[in-house]
Amino acid sequence: MRGAQIAALADAPDGVAEALAAVDGFDDALVHGLARLDEEREAALAALAGAVGATPLGGAAADAAAKVTAGSVAEDALAALAGGRAAVLGAVHDALLASADEALGRERAAWDADAATGDAHANLLGGCRAWLTELAVTGWRGVDHDLVSGADRTVEAVLAEPALRRLGVLLDGLAGELRASCPVGTLERLPVRRWADLWTRAVLLAARGPWSAAAARAVSGRLLPLGVDVHEHPTAVGVEVHAILEESGGSSRLVRTSLLAPKTDTIVGPAVWRLLAGFPVLLGALAERRGLVVTDLPLTPGGDLIWDDERAAAGDPADPFVTARVGLAAALAPPVPPLDRHPVRISEPVLLEGYRVKDGRFELDGQSLAVETDRLPAAGPLTEALVKASSVCIGLLRSDAGGWSVRPLAVRATVRKAPVEAHNGDWALGPTDPKVQKAEAKAGDSVAVLRERAGRLLRA
Amino acid sequence: MVDRSWERRSAVRVVPPARARKLAKVPFVELADGRLQGVVSSGSDVARVYVSSVAAATHAFSCSTNNNRPCGGLGAGYLCKHLQALVKEAVLQYGLERVARYLKADVGEGDDLVDRLDGVKEQAPAAAVFSRFLRHLGYLELPVTAGPVPEAHWFPAGAS
Ligand SMILES: [Zn+2]
């Protein structure tokens, strides 16, 4: 990125502030619960419905707002309001992504696939909806231990169903946060937008059945990793690899490939990679900074490769900084599946060079961009100090609450006059830093300890 | 002052990550159901575990095997080695401040939390805690998902 590109992001697209205000009104209503709305919050519900008034959702959202205002908080009304909220944030996402694409000069393919939803697991989903309705009626401020524990069995059952993994991971994350925040009524501040986001997403995922991906097509060619984004909550860890796929036909596109492993809260830091040990080809390429040769790997219309180690082989060494410098400009970006359009998903790989780091921002050509130094995963070697000492960075351009930032995935820095390079995936096969190795050896293999306990006690 | 911009962000971290600790002796610790509770491995028998707990506010404590046999090391007014290990590991995992706050224990800088727990022995539900431990272990039995999980974007790794 150059300074001019950062400058081009400075102005929020038209309508974003108004759209977010409509979302905020609804989110505030969820804080106090939909069972007792005052006039201001009734107006907020109507405003959210009004914001989608011109869309196919408009009628259902208006009816839902009227019903809830009249005191009838039913599942279908909540689903319509959640749909309205998601549509407004979807529009914000589209505007922000378009402005990022324009600033970056990034070409993006158009969405032309159908997404289908299944019609299975009715009982489990009904249990989820009942809990989500109770949360909405009660409001975050009224959440106590009993209400949170009420979801335990449902969440456990959803997690056990692989087709519902996305909903399970989401609900487990939300329930964990609520549990740790109980009694919520005494908290000074609440993650108002966040919990409303998670609630909305869960309502939509629990509405009918798993969202089956639109038809994927098989692709073959060379995959050149740019970096790894690590996601984590107490009971799940996910890695999302951003890469450039050079198809055998010649085209080059930006893709992502993701793995997600359930875990316990005590498995943290570099140990999380051990949960992904069943994918040695992918992890090996990350740790050794190699490309991969993939054969007939499914690629979804949204640009996600469904990873399968059997259909991949280690390729030649491939420096992600070279991949970014040479490949980013020409790679075609994928469209975003309609249901996944939310600003939080925006994660556009970018290369920044020749900046200075000051007050938590990259400064370049008189422009500046916030750096997410609080988002460096303990599973990799990046530290705040390294980022501060860096001058080249592969990062993800992201947006939260309308502001842009960069999340570093890899940096080149100068430490004590020597060049240092660090990538989030460097420790995929185990830490390479002797100090970290020593600490790991001392703590013991947490995954192995718990597996031993599980072997002895679960199957006793 | 309340930070309103924090409240309007999607990807903030609400639960701080647990700190790494050795799991061999105390494989499971949690702050739940009004108790600090967990599972402590027996020093002598690999097949046996102790279920130990300390209640918030009253600091009433209990320790028994997972088959409900009372722990022999437990006195009327003092903690057995399992409970001491449980408290110590909980402090490692969550930090002293969070554990003390949950237990409503008055702990100053440099104090040992164990010294501040002066409750009496109680009968606590060992079976329930043990089944939560088994549920906890169950996460490691679930398969890895290959494929997009867009929901994960709400949970970025990192400290805050
Ligand atoms: Zn004991």
Chain B contact for A358, CB < 8 A?
A: no
**From the list A162, A192, A194, which residue is nearest B154 (CB)?**
A194
Q: Where are the beta strands (DSSP E) in A161-289?
A: 211-212, 217-233, 236-247, 252-262
- What band does A114 get if pLDDT is binned at 50, 70 and 90? confident
Residue of chain B with shortest Cα separation from A197: B10
The rounded mean pLDDT for chain B is 90
Residues A174 and A92 in one domain: yes
What pLDDT is recorded for position B111? 81
Q: How far is the CA of B102 from the centre of ligand 1 (A)?
A: 21
**From the list A193, A240, A454, which residue is nearest B137 (CB)?**
A454
Query: Which of chain A's residues have a Cβ under 8 Å away from the Cβ of B24?
Result: 444, 449
Query: Is A263 close to B153, i.e. CB distance below 8 A?
Result: no
Mean pLDDT of B20-31: 94
Question: What's chain A's length in residues?
Answer: 460
What pLDDT is recorded for position A217? 93
Q: How far is the CA of B81 from the centre of ligand 1 (A)?
A: 6
Q: How far is the CA of A44 from the centre of ligand 1 (A)?
A: 55
Domain count, chain A: 2
Q: Which two tokens stand for residue B52?
A: 């130990």
Residues A204 and A222 in one domain: no
| A29, pLDDT greater than 70 | yes
In a domain, A435, yes or no: no
Q: pLDDT, tens digit, for every residue of A150-205?
A: 999 999 999 999 999 999 999 999 999 999 898 898 888 999 999 999 999 999 99
Query: Which of chain A's residues have a Cβ under 8 Å away from the Cβ of B93?
Result: 266
The proportion of chain A whose per-residue pLDDT surpasses 70, expressed as a percent, equals 98
Domain boundary (A304, A327, A350) is at A327
Which residues place a Cβ less than 5 A from the ion ligand 1? B 50, 63, 71, 73, 80, 82
| A460, pLDDT greater than 80 | no
Residues A139 and A195 in one domain: yes
What pLDDT is recorded for position B92? 94
Chain B contact for A25, CB < 8 A?
A: no
Q: pLDDT, tens digit, for every residue of A124-150?
A: 999 999 999 999 999 999 999 899 999
Chain B contact for A32, CB < 8 A?
A: no
Q: pLDDT, tens digit, for every residue of A403-459?
A: 899 999 999 999 999 999 999 999 999 999 999 999 888 888 999 999 998 888 877
What pLDDT is recorded for position A7? 94
Residues A121 and A266 in one domain: no
Q: Lowest mean pLDDT: which of A36-50, A200-214, A339-353, B46-60?
A: A200-214
Q: What pTM value is reported for the model?
A: 0.95
What pLDDT is recorded for position A281? 98
CA torsion, points A64, A75, A120, A199, in degrees to nearest 10? 90
| A250, pLDDT greater than 90 | no
Cβ under 8 Å to A: B residues 33-52: 33-34, 41, 46-47, 49
**From the list B19, B29, B149, which residue is nearest A238 (CB)?**
B149
In a domain, A402, yes or no: no
Residue of chain B with shortest Cα separation from A383: B158
Q: pLDDT, tens digit, for every residue of A192-238?
A: 999 999 999 999 999 987 776 668 899 999 999 999 999 999 999 99
3-state secondary structure string across chain A: CCHHHHHHHCCCCCCHHHHHHHHHHHHHHHHHCCCCCCHHHHHHHHHHHHHCCCCCCHHHHHHHHHHHHCCCCCHHHHHHHHHHHHHHHHHHHHHHHHHHHHHHCCCECCCCCCCEECCCCHHHHHHHHHHHHHHHHHCHHHCCHHHHHCCHHHHHHHHCCHHHHHHHHHHHHHHHHHHHCCCHHHCCCCCHHHHHHHHHHHHHHCCCCCEECCCCEEEEEEEEEEEEEEEEECCEEEEEEEEEEEECCCCEEEEEEEEEEECCCCCCHHHHHHHHCCCHHHHHHHHHCEEEEEEEEEECCCCEECCCHHHEEEEEECCHHHHHHHHCCCCEECCCCHHHCCHHHCCEEEEEECCEEECCEEEECCEEEEECHHHCCCCCCCCHHHHHCEEEEEEEEEEECCEEEEEEEEEEEEECCEEEEEECCCCCCCCCCHHHHHHHHHHCCHHHHHHHHHHHHCCC
Q: Lowest mean pLDDT: which of A18-22, A60-64, A233-237, B44-48?
A: B44-48
Regarding predicted confidence, which is higher, B159 or A219? A219
Residue of chain A with shortest Cα separation from B94: A266
Domain span at residue A322? 217-327
| A289, pLDDT greater than 70 | yes
- What band does B2 get if pLDDT is binned at 50, 70 and 90? low
Chain A contact for B25, CB < 8 A?
A: no
Residues A102 and A246 in one domain: no
Cβ under 8 Å to B: A residues 319-348: 340, 342-345, 347
Domain boundary (A327, A362, A385) is at A327
Cβ under 8 Å to A: B residues 83-112: 93
Q: How far is the CA of A9 from the centre of ligand 1 (A)?
A: 60
What pLDDT is recorded for position B33? 85
B105: Cβ–Cβ under 8 A, 6 or more apart, which residues? Answer: B59, B99, B113, B116, B117
Q: pLDDT, tens digit, for every residue of A346-395?
A: 999 999 999 999 999 999 999 999 999 989 999 999 999 999 999 999 99
| B3, pLDDT greater than 80 | no
Residues A107 and A206 in one domain: yes
What pLDDT is recorded for position B115? 85
ipTM of the complex: 0.96
Chain B contact for A181, CB < 8 A?
A: yes
The rounded mean pLDDT for chain A is 94
Domain boundary (A176, A211, A246) is at A211
Size of interface A-B (CB pairs under 8 A): 222
Angstroms from A340 CA to nearest CA on chain B:
7
Mean pLDDT of A60-72: 95
Query: How far, rounded to the nearest angstrom, does the alpha carbon of residue B141 sit from its chain's CA centroid?
Result: 21
Mean pLDDT of B37-59: 92
- What band does A81 get if pLDDT is binned at 50, 70 and 90? very high
